[in-house]
Structure 1
Amino acid sequence: MLAFWFCVGLAQCGLLYLLARCGRALIRKAEEERTAARFTPQGGWPRAAMIVPVAGAHPRMADALKSLLNQDYPSLTPVLVTAAAEEPAAELVRRLREDFPAVRHVVAGPAEGCGQKNHNSLQGVAAVGDTADIYIFCDSTHLARPDFARCLAGAVARGEAAFSTGYHTVEPRDQRPVTLGYAFSVLLMRFFQGLSAFTQPWGGAMAMSRDAFGRYGVAELWAHNVVDDCSLGALLQARGAHVRLCPAALLGTEAENHSLPVWRAWMERQVLFLKFCMPGQWLLLGVLAVLMALPPLCAAFALLGGLLGLGGGAASSLALLWLTMLLGVLGPWRDFLPRPVPLWRWLWAFGCAAGMFVLVYLRSVPARVIVWRDRVYTVGRGGTVLNIRRG
């Protein structure tokens, strides 16, 4: 048993080391991609529409939307979509149009058979129609560099892929455990995106050609599904379609004094989307949960037993060896943060992230609904929406 848990600990450290290497490779690829995005594709940049579902009253939404509206992509049509004409997000859009008159504001109305975000995106596409050759879909709460749209749509514009995706990174503005734990969680998911076996569309930053949108039946899929990205990922995986990861299309998410319930709700949605849309990957998440939970639990019991004189010295020695290896592989992860973080705080953040992930995964096993904003979605196989009610 002792050898088993130590082998699991070795596997955990090996995975974290592999992901850190993947993260460094993504940074190198991002620089190459930004260089390529400076050049105009043969035939010029295709007409593109940036469709952004906007909801809620996030404190940094105005800055995030301004960063999306200040893109240097030529012939880009920005479309901001709200569910209602009278809501805080709609008022924000009207204020933004004073400085950005090219913005189109679409009022989608309430969703009836799908997630509200899906409905908003589809109404945005309908408003654009065939005036765009590329559809770019973005979230409304992340900061974008001016070349974000060119980096994200570049692979589609050059004919290298029909679908492309970016991701985001969290910039912690404090060193609280929840804030750093959230940052670690997003880093982990971003690095998994860098492994080709796990690359899939991310709804916060994805692009596709208008031809692919119609050919793969994206509108029909989203019209009955709870989520945009995982459902599309499952469809493309089933049809053997390639999704191009664009590391330079990286949005920034600022986090300060991050709320524990907000973090948990966000992580629950990520796990539940996979459970309903991509059950195979959800089962793999269970393996990852074991990999994250078992080594620290066993090490804690081994060290406690050693202190109380209840166990042999071998167990305590292996626990200390595992902890040393863990610190060795976690240390370089701090290089991906914009500000230095003490190693002990980063270790505590890792523990919080692992504990939250295991808790959320266990809660997902019996779950039959997804709570998203003010709605509760009863979800069936493949992410199909069976019922919507106010939460």
Structure 2
Amino acid sequence: MTVVLFIVGLVQCGLLFLLTGTGAKLARQAQKEREEARYVPHGGWPRVAMIIPAAGNDPRMEAALKSLLEQDYPHLLPVLVTAGADDPAADIIRRLKEDYPALRHVIAGEAKDCGQKNWNSLAGVAAVGDAADIYMFCDSTHMADPEFARCLVGPLARNEAAFSTGYHEVEPRDHGIVTLGYALSVLLMRLLQGLSAFTQPWGGAMAMTRAAFERYGVARLWASTVVDDCSLGAMLQARGVHVKLCAAALLRTTAHRHAFGTWRAWMDRQVLFLKFCMPGQWLLLGVFAALMLAPVLWAGFTFCRDLIGRGGGTGPFLALLWLLLLAGTLSSWRRLVPVRVPLGRWLGAFFLASGLFGWVYLRTIPARTITWRHMVYLVGRGGALLGMRRRG
């Protein structure tokens, strides 16, 4: 069994090393996309509606919204959507309208048959109508570089795809294990996005032509499902539609003293969205979770036995060899994070993330609901919304 688990550890390190190469490939792709974004496509830049659902009073929101409103794009219609006029985000939007008069604020009302974010996005689309050729959807708490919109819209403007997506990276502002664990988790998901088999829309930064929005019935889909991106990804995958990953359309998320509960709730949603919308990928994710966690548990058990004098054999040597290989592989991952991270803390973050990943996955097996903000959604196959209630 020791040899088998050591081989599992080697497979784990090999996969992580492969993803390191994916990170380097994404960096090269991003540079190419930024260069392409400098040139006006044949026929000019299309009209784009930037639709941003917003809720709450996240301290990062105002700066993030400003970064989106200050995009270097010639025909951009910014539309911010809140559920109600009394939402804390509405106060931020009203302040921003003083400096950005082109900004439109849409009140969507409370969602009844779908997730609130879906309902807000659809309200934004309805307000824009045919005034835009492309609908771009963004989250409200991530910082964007000035060329973000051109990089995300570029493939659509050049007729290379009908759907495009970006992603985000976390910039840790401290070396806390939870903060680094969250940064590592997001990095892992971004690297997996770089593999074509796992590329799917991300709701925080995705775009589609108006023609594709109508042809594929995105409005009907979102009006009955709990989440925007996973439900759309499942539908596009079933119909064989390609989603273009734009490596340069990379938003930045800052994290400081990140709370464990916030990280766990975020991971819960990521796994549950796949369970309900893309069950095949959810099952594959379970294999991946076991691959990440099994060598960690084996090595920990082996070292503990050795400490109390009950070890022996090749177990401790193989466990140490695996740990050195893992440290070398994860050390290269640190180059993919915006700030310098101590290797020891980075390893600790990996162990914690692996444990949390396994625990969260097991909890999702019997789950039938998704908790998001103040709502609990009862979800069926394909992410269909079966019912909802307020938390507490």
Fold shared, TM-score > 0.5 on shorter chain:
yes
Matches within 5 A, 1:277-296: 277-296=277-296
* Alignment pair present for 1:91 and 2:119: no
Alignment of 1:107-256 (within 5 A): 107-256=107-256
RMSD: 0.7
Q: CA-to-partner distance for each residue in 1:108-155, whole Å, 9 max, x for gaps? A: 000000000000000000000011000000000000000000000100
Q: What is the CA distance between 1:339 and its match in structure 2?
A: 2.0
How far does residue 174 in structure 1 lie from its aligned partner after superposition?
0.3
After the TM superposition, which of the residue ranges 252-261 and 352-361 deviates more from structure 2? 352-361
Q: Is the 8 A contact 1:81 1:124 kept in 2?
A: yes
1:19-38 maps to which residues of 2 (within 5 A)?
19-38=19-38
Residue of structure 1 equivalent to 2:64: 64
Q: Return the alpha-carbon distance in structure 1 between the equivalents of residues 157 and 91 of structure 2.
A: 34
Query: Which piece of structure 1 moves more, 309-318 or 260-269?
Result: 309-318
State the one-letter code of the partner of 2:63: D
Which amino acid counterpart does residue 185 of structure 1 have in structure 2? Answer: S
Residue number in structure 2 paired with 1:267? 267
Query: How far, CA to CA, are the matches of 1:6 and 1:382 in structure 2?
Result: 38
1:178 aligned partner, one-letter code: V
Distance 1:104 1:73 in 2: 17
C-alpha distance in structure 1 between counterparts of 2:3 and 2:348, whole Å = 25
Counterpart of 2:177, as a letter, is P
Q: What's the CA shift for 1:342? A: 1.2
Q: Could you tell me which amino acid in structure 1 is paired with residue 389 of structure 2? A: R
SS in 1 for 2:377: strand
Count the aligned residue pairs.
Answer: 391
CA distance in 2 between counterparts of 1:117 and 1:243 reads: 21
Q: Which residue of 2 aligns with 1:387?
A: 387
CA shift digits 1:170-224 (9 cap, x unpaired): 0000000110000000000000000000000000000000000000110000000
Indicate the residue corresponding to 2:100 in structure 1.
Answer: 100
Bigger mean CA deviation after superposition, 342-351 or 301-310: 301-310
Report what 1:310 is aligned to. 310
Distance (whole Å) between structure 2 residues aligned to residue 311 and residue 94 of structure 1? 65
Structure 1 residue 376 corresponds to structure 2 residue 365: no
Letter in 2 for 1:329: T
CA distance in 2, matches of 1:374, 1:264: 16
Find the residue that maps to 1:224 and give its secondary structure: coil
Alpha-carbon contact 1:171-1:337 (below 8 Å) kept = yes
| Deviation (angstroms), 1:308 | 2.6
Q: Are residues 1:339 and 2:339 paired?
A: yes
**In structure 1, what is the equivalent of residue 258 of structure 2?**
258
1:299 paired to 2:299: yes
Distance in 2, Cα, partners of 1:91 & 1:339? 33
Output the amino acid matched with 1:255: A
Deviations 1:238-294 (A, max 9, x none): 000000000000000000010111111111000000000000010011001100110
Q: Is the 8 A contact 1:79 1:124 kept in 2?
A: yes
CA shift digits 1:70-116 (9 cap, x unpaired): 00111100000000011211111111000000001000000000000
In structure 2, distance between residues paired with 1:304 and 1:181:
24
- Quick one: distance in 1 between partners of 2:219 and 2:268? 26
Q: Distance in 1 between matches of 2:198 and 2:137?
A: 20
- Give the Cα separation in 2 of the matches to 1:352 and 1:57: 29
In structure 2, what is the Cα distance between the partners aligned to 1:309 and 1:92?
61
Aligned pair 1:321/2:321, yes or no? Answer: yes
- Look up the SS of the partner of 2:389 in the other structure: strand
Deviations 1:286-344 (A, max 9, x none): 00110011001111111222233323330111000100100010001111222211110
- Of the structure 1 ranges 292-301 and 136-145, higher mean CA displacement relative to structure 2 is found in 292-301
- Matched residues in 1 for 2:264 and 2:270: separation? 10
In the other structure, the counterpart of 2:356 is 356
Amino acid at match of 1:324: L
Q: Distance in 2 between matches of 1:189 and 1:372?
A: 20
Instruction: Name the aligned partner's letter for residue 86 of structure 1.
Output: D
In structure 1, distance between residues paired with 2:149 and 2:43 = 18
TM-score by length of 2: 0.99
State the 1:49 CA deviation. 0.3
Structure 1: distance between partners of 2:233 and 2:7: 33
1:250 aligned partner, one-letter code: L
Report the alpha carbon displacement of residue 388 of structure 1 after superposing the two structures with TM.
Answer: 1.2
Distance of 1:356 and 1:308 partners within structure 2:
27
| Residue identity in the other structure for 1:204 | G
Aligned partners of 1:306 and 1:313 also within 8 Å: no
